[in-house]
Structure formats: structure tokens, C-alpha cells
Amino acid sequence: MQQRESIRQRKLGQDTLANFVKSSRGCPVVVKINTGVNYQEETLVSSGRVFTLGFFTAGNYQYIGIWYTKIAQQTIVWVANRDSPVTDTPGVLSISSNGSNLQLQSSSNYVLWSTSISANLVNPVAQLLDSGNFVLKENNTDSIAWQSFDHPTDTVLPGLKIGFVSGQYRNLVSWAGSDNPSSSNYTFKLDLSGFPEFSIWDGLKLFFRNGPWNGVHFSGEPQMESDGTFTFDYVSNENETYYTFYINDSSIVSRLVVNQSTLQRYVADASNSGWTLYWSVPRDQCDNYGQCGPNALCSTNTSDILNCACLTGFEPKSERDWELHDTSAGCTRQVDLNCSGDDFITVSNAKLPDTTNVTVDSTIGLEECRSSCLMNCSCTGYANYDVLNGGSGCVIWVGEIVDLRQFNGGGQDFYYRVAGSEVPENETYMQRQREILFESVRPLAPARDIAIEDGASTHGNDSSLPLFLANVISAATNNFAPENKLGEGGFGTVFKGELEGGEKIAVKRLAKFSTQGLNEFKNEVILIAKLQHVNLVRLLGCCIEGEERMLVYEYMENKSLDTIIFNGPDLRW
């Protein structure tokens, strides 16, 4: 025998559907919500009256959904049977007789939707929580067998994790229309390849990406920086990657929804007022994926007028197309990379380029990241993994730079690779990094006589130390020719060289297998620089580029002192 009882208007406020088998001795009481003449009266309301679950009408069909109880304008945040509507009333939502699943049946007992789990619950309860999460669980326990938060439709509520959670992807799929909750082609989902980022797809076409998480916000959404109203939570590890948010102000409610090609955040007064659009993306043409083509920079002015420009060191692939405002082919390099003499140009306030094919190392800093990029001839750019506390971690790009944009503020620095000859004088690596590398370092690139910017004598007591480009030293030593070799020790080899201006130098080229790290090398150079003395061989500068670690000394004639000490005549004081 099976007894049934409908939840009608008199039971508003009850937040559970239950199979009470503990006293029925095998004859469970199945509590249900059904449609029919008065189907709108049969609802399930969360205990705090925040959310309501029940049937609603869209078009000429009925659906099971969840909406805000107190918001005057009915706002559906979840739909169970979005692609299997009830076409013949009455429909019935109930816990199955064996207590394993929630199911929605048509009047002909055809199952339109089910939780489809294999749980064997003894005393099952279906409960609508004040968070908007609809759960199936064992009564009087916290053991959840199924929950709607694992199966979002088009909306993220506070606490709902969107991304890759518990071995499954949680995506958002837009309604097909304002009165049609069925699935459309527009999907907001996580791409785990490379450096994970969320994006909106129109079928198989990438429409918008919000950039990777940089420790503060998504790279392409600088407006996410919290004003205290919201807390944004992003977690990424070997087991899961997800995003969620929380509201710090109990007087408001908020939801994140994908509406066709747009991701929108709405806020409303928690009582019953209407919704206000808080922000949305894409915000302008620059947010359209690849708007300016490869190797180009997209930016807008205050009037949101599109501006596409080739990156410095690049030129339009088709001048004619660019004149016609067709930038889809993008830009190509003016000078090919040669690996050994390349440098970088900075794009500030950037939305990082497409991260599908990047490599990530969260254990190293920006300087090591630059060195790693230089050592990889396929590397075309790099950036910090995290911008908090001055920046940390390393992201390296290979191939073309796609979907790079620049904001007026709020982005992060991106460094892209060009031939050294293409770098503007004020963009050279030595000038950009002199305050980072050494307290006493000043740049020298490539001529010795421009090293001292304040006009101090290059042979005075100034403790500043120039940086030499690797290709300058290579040219001075005839590419480290064997005939220029002066000696060799456990840590490297010394070569004789001559700078372009005629100044002779001795270059100590440290062995690439040396265990000395970058920081140790920097500290040693600073110490030697501060020990400059008229009776000591003068350290003229150094080179840190890729794997290269080199010290440049003034060249002294008449060989080494050891030939006098050990093989020459007796020396007197």
C-alpha cells in the first residue's frame, strides 16, 4: 500500500520532501509536488523563506525550478527539466518508491527527469536550503547523496562552485530565450589546459575569455576587485579548480548569470526590490576574442572606441586589410628572433593573452621567469603567475600572442619577446631592471661610454656597475674564440676581448653547470664592485642573460702574477 500527500499552499514554509519509512513497515509515505489545475500552489519553500521550488510556466510548458521567494519579479535560478518540459499535466515531482532518487513524471508516468544516482537511502529527505541548493540526503544527517549545486543551469549563487569540482565540470548554459529555459549554444565553462581560465563559447566558437586568475581577480575582469560587498574565492590544485563568491552584506542578494553571449552580475535589495545590473562582460569590442588578430594590442578610449595596433616590433600582415579595418589576420614580426640577442617589451595594465598553450611554474620569480624564457627559443612572452605582494610565479607563452588587450588600469604587466634591435631605448631590459638587479648597477648597452648617466668618470670611485649585452661580449671575444682564451678554472673560462671603442677586456665566463645560483652571483658581483681599488684589477661590468653569467674585467698586460712568483726571479720588497 502506498499513501500520497500533496504539498499545497497550507504547507508553505516546509522545506523538505520525505519518505518516512521508519514507521511505515515497508509502506512508505511518498510526499510529492504535482501540477494540475492549481499546480502553482504546490511549492517547497526554504526554512528562511529565501528560495522557493515548484512548477513554473514558460511558453506553453511547465518546468520544475527554483526562484527567489521575496523578489517581486520571479527570477528562476535553477531548472531541473529544462530540456524535458512537462507537456501533459499533471506532472509529479517525488522521491521514488525505493528512496533512491528524485524524479519528475508526466501524467502517463513517463520519467522526464531524475537525479539518476545509485544511492540506497534508508530514510531519504529532499530539502531546499536557504542557499538555493536543493539536496537529496539521509534524514537527520549531513550526508548529501545529490544536490542541485552540482548541476547548475545558467546561474551561480553565493557558495556555488563553478568549474571542475569532485571530478566533474560544472558549466553554465544560457536559456534559449527570455521565455524558454531550454539549453542554448552559449556556454560559460572552464578550460583546464595551460593556465586555467573561464570563457564563453557559442557552440564551438570561442566568444569571450575572462583571463586566468592572478591572485586578485581574473586577468580580464579588473572590475572584480572587491569593494567589501563581495568576497571572491578561487581555488586551483591538482584535484579541483573552481570559482565562487560570497556576499558580505546581508541586506542584498546577488547572482551571476550567463545570458546568451553575456556574463552578468545582478544585485537587489533582499526584501523585494527589482534587480540592478552590477557589471557585465564582454564590456566592449576588445573583449571579443581575437578582435585585433594575433600579435596585436586591443584598447579602447573613454568612449569605448576600438583601437587595434600591432605590437612594437610587428607590422600588419596585410596593410590593405588594416586600411579597410579588417585586422583579423593580425601582425607579423619585422625582425625575426635569433634567440641569443632577443629582449622584451612591457605591456602594462594588460589582460594576459590566451593561455591555452602556456607553461606555469609557481615556484620561481619574475627574473628567473625571464631567464627561462630566454633559454627557450620558442618562448614569445612571460608574466607573473600571481600579482599579490609584488608578484610571484611564472607563466611562459609559446607561439603567437592572441587576444591581448590593455586597460586604463587594473591589469598586470606582460612581457613579449622581440629582436634586440626592435626594443626602444627606454625599454631595454637593463634600464627596466637596474633597480631590481643590483642596488649599485647602472646599464651599459652596448657602448661603455654611456654607462654613467650622472656624468661620473668611468675610472673614478663610482661603485655603479654596468650590464653588458651577451652579443656585445660575444663580438668582443670573437664568439669566445679558442685563441682568445687566457685561462680556465673550476668555475669558468677567461677570454681576452676588445670592445667596439678599442678598450681591451678580460671576460670570465662562468660554467653553465656551476652550482652558483642567480642570487649568489648577484651578491658576489655587488661585493666585487664595492671593492674597486687602484691596485686591483677593475671589474667593469657583468652579464646576466639566459644561461650566461659573465664578469667583465679590465685587461692587464704581462700575463698573470703567478708566472713571476713561481717561475721568475726573486722578488724584493
How many residues are given for the chain?
A: 573
Calculate Rg over the CA atoms of the chain.
33
Kind of pairing between the strands at 3-6 and 29-34 = parallel
Angstrom distance (rounded) from CA 402 to CA 215: 22
**At which residue does the C-alpha cell 546581508 appear?**
250
Angstrom distance (rounded) from CA 215 to CA 128: 34
Specify whether the CB–CB gap between 91 and 104 falls below 8 A.
yes
Tell me if 508 is assigned to a ligand binding site. Answer: yes
Q: Omega into 466 within 30° of 0, i.e. cis?
A: no
Cα within 13 Å of Cα(78), Cβ side: 23
**At which residue does the C-alpha cell 642570487 appear?**
519
Grid cell of 513 as nine digits: 653547470
**Torsion angle (degrees, nearest 10) of CA 282, 288, 294, 299:** -60
Angstrom distance (rounded) from CA 390 to CA 281: 28
Specify whether the CB–CB gap between 227 and 243 falls below 8 A.
no
Closest to 358 (Cα-Cα) out of 389, 387, 331, 385: 385
Specify whether the CB–CB gap between 149 and 155 falls below 8 A.
no
Beta bridge mates, 165: 168
Backbone angles phi, psi at 276, to 5 degrees: -120, 135
DSSP letter (8 states) at residue 393: -
Angstrom distance (rounded) from CA 132 to CA 77: 8
Which residues make up each annotated binding site for ATP?
A: 508
Which residues make up each annotated binding site?
A: 508
